[in-house]
């Protein structure tokens, strides 16, 4: 199986009981754009049949009034998707819709199934024909192949066969069903607007449409929303532990969201920054973040240390996919297109630069050079608001293979030398766990190689990845 199968990041949104279901789903996806920028889609139901519009591209580019009008009905689900290597495959754009013996079924999935390959093989042997190469389609076939005579039971029997992470939305002609995997790897929240129920990956989607956050969908819980209202089935699948993704707090979720039990992401990131300052003090004139990912922790660092915070790097937020690189090579062009230093602030200064993580190390190296050479800084001290990233993620965060993760084969001093920073410090594991609510419920495999969800054929799959 190809390694890129594991590399998916997504956002999901659903609504039941609203006359503007498709429009609000569009806005929900718009607010969740950071979770996936490759493709997006919305499926609505007018109670008789499902309607689907989806494409490669950003939410605001894909949908216009005309397209949203083709999505009638009071209920809808939507999906944003991002996947790396392998390129954009239009067939993998979600929601995926299929006909089965009980009617029509659409699915939107955030997460990664670790036994998708085996399931797919056995389903194909039973005669299933897959439309896509996405692991999410496995759910559809498992539901279709189940012998149970109602959809809820079919989904339960499908879930019993899958292993991995899933925050999952199903839409039929008459029902919206939301499920979160028993480990609770990815977030999924429930809210309400104008009497309609909404579900979404993050609460920032609720804010945009004026919805009120009610609660998280619990790990292992299935919510069925239909004409009878909302019915909750707890523990339809179970797991030995919870495994909330720690990287949602560090990088992935938006700072204005409340996740994993209603905790604000910005507040947690600021605590990481404060902790980093306590663990790794250094004399400096200025603290600057790598925008946007380093901003809350840089503010926390500044508050704790008393060293002034400034925006010393300016980010261009309007980079299209089609920008043209100059033929003659400009040094560090890749980072330059996104970031530019404010020389006025940096010249002659001892600068602390804060980012959330180092993955391959190439960005940090370019940023340090930029701050020193273009910005004129006297010293550059790099502070990272997470521990060294040593392990790839198999549960839905886009990380490269292990050998590409610089911290998997280099110690902090070697990484410092590579980035050319004067000093480099990471947040400690203890410091990280001290500052997250309910730390025992988290997966931190990317920092400690302790993978909470085993998978069959793990060894051979890992070989392909490392
Ligand atoms: P690198 O050059 O590979 O070390 O990239 C580090 C940068 O990538 C940091 O600024 C992070 O904020 C950012 N980053 C970390 N994880 C991800 C991810 N899953 N997707 C995109 N960017 C990321």
List, in order of start, the domains of the chain with CATH numbers: 10-239 (3.60.20.10), 264-317+326-440 (3.40.50.2020)
Read off the pLDDT of residues 114-173 as tens digits, 9 standing for 90 and up.
998 899 999 999 999 998 888 899 999 999 999 998 999 999 999 999 999 999 999 999
Please give the residue that has the higher pLDDT: either 444 or 1: 444
pLDDT band at 90 (very low <50, low <70, confident <90, very high): confident
Atom of ligand 1 nearest to the CA of 362: 2
Least confident piece of the model among 103-107, 144-148, 326-330, 425-429: 326-330
Query: Is 10 considered catalytic here?
Result: yes
pLDDT at 461: 53
Q: Whose CA is nearest to atom 11 of ligand 1?
A: 357
- Kindly tell me if the per-residue pLDDT of 87 is higher than 80: no
Percent of the chain surpassing pLDDT 70: 92
pLDDT at 265: 98
Structure tokens at 334: 């890749």
Cα-to-centroid distance, 277 and ligand 1 (Å):
21
- Torsion sign over Cα 234, 239, 242, 248: negative
* Most informative mutation of 288, 363, 385, 427 for ligand 1 (most atoms within 8 A of CB): 363
Mean pLDDT of 344-365: 97
Mean pLDDT of 338-350: 97
Please check whether residue 72 is in contact with residue 46, taking contact to mean a CB–CB distance below 8 angstroms. yes
For residue 173, the number of C-alpha atoms closer than 13 Å in the C-beta half-sphere is: 8
Count the residues in the chain: 466
Question: What pTM did the predictor assign?
Answer: 0.94
Mean pLDDT of 266-271: 98
Q: Residues enclosing ligand 1, CB less than 6 A?
A: 251, 290, 293, 355-364, 397-399
- Kindly tell me if the per-residue pLDDT of 86 is higher than 60: no
Atom of ligand 1 nearest to the CA of 361: 4
pLDDT at 459: 45
pLDDT at 5: 45
Angle (CA) 43 46 51, round 5°: 30
Among residues 182, 169, 133, the alpha carbon closest in space to that of 6 is found at 133
Q: Name the maximum alpha-carbon separation found in the chain.
A: 73
Read off the pLDDT of residues 281-333 as tens digits, 9 standing for 90 and up.
999 999 999 999 999 999 999 999 999 999 999 999 887 666 676 766 666 67
Please check whether residue 53 is in contact with residue 78, taking contact to mean a CB–CB distance below 8 angstroms. no
Mean pLDDT of 249-274: 98
Please give the residue that has the higher pLDDT: either 271 or 87: 271
Report the chain's terminal Cα–Cα distance, integer Å. Answer: 13
Percent of the chain surpassing pLDDT 90: 84
* CA 46 – CA 318 distance, rounded (Å): 36
């Amino acid at each position: 199986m190809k390694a890129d199968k594991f590399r998916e990041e997504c956002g999901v949104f659903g609504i039941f009981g609203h006359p503007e279901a498709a429009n609000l789903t569009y806005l929900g996806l718009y607010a969740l754009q950071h979770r996936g920028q490759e493709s997006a889609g919305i499926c609505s139901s007018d109670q008789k049949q499902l309607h689907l519009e989806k494409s490669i591209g950003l939410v605001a580019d894909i949908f216009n009034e005309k397209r949203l009008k083709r999505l009638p009905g009071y209920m809808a689900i939507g999906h944003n998707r991002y996947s790396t290597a392998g390129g954009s495959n239009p067939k993998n754009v979600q929601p995926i819709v299929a006909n089965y013996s009980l009617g029509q079924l659409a699915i939107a999935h955030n997460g990664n199934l670790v036994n998708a390959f085996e399931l797919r093989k056995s389903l194909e042997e039973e005669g299933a024909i897959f439309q896509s190469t996405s692991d999410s389609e496995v759910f559809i076939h498992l539901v279709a192949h189940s012998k149970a005579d109602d959809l809820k039971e079919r989904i339960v029997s499908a879930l019993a066969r899958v292993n991995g992470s899933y925050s999952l939305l199903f839409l039929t002609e008459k029902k919206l069903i939301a499920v979160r995997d028993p480990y609770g790897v990815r977030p999924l929240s429930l809210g309400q607007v104008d009497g309609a129920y909404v579900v979404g990956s993050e609460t920032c989607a609720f804010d945009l449409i004026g919805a009120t956050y009610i609660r998280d969908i619990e790990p292992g819980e299935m919510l069925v929303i239909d004409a009878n209202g909302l019915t909750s089935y707890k523990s339809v699948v179970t797991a030995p532990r919870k495994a909330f993704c720690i990287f949602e707090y560090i990088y992935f979720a938006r700072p204005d969201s409340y996740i994993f039990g209603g905790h604000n992401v910005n507040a947690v990131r600021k605590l990481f920054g404060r902790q980093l300052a306590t663990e790794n003090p250094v004399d400096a004139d200025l603290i600057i973040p790598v925008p946007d990912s380093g901003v809350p922790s840089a503010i926390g660092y500044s508050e704790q240390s008393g060293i002034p915070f400034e925006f010393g790097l300016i980010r261009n937020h309007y980079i299209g996919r089609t920008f043209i690189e100059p033929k003659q090579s400009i040094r560090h062009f890749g980072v330059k297109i996104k970031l530019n230093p404010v020389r006025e602030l940096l010249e002659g200064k001892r600068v602390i630069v804060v980012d959330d993580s180092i993955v391959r190390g190439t960005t940090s190296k370019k940023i340090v050079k930029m701050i020193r050479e273009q910005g004129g800084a006297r010293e550059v001290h790099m502070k990272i608001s997470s521990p060294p990233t040593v392990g790839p993620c198999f549960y839905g965060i886009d990380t490269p293979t292990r050998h590409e993760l610089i911290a998997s084969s280099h110690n902090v001093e070697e990484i410092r030398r590579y980035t050319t920073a004067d000093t480099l410090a990471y947040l400690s594991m203890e410091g990280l766990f001290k500052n997250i609510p309910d730390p025992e419920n988290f997966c931190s495999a990317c920092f400690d190689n302790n993978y909470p969800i085993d998978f069959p054929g793990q060894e051979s799959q890992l070989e392909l990845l490392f």
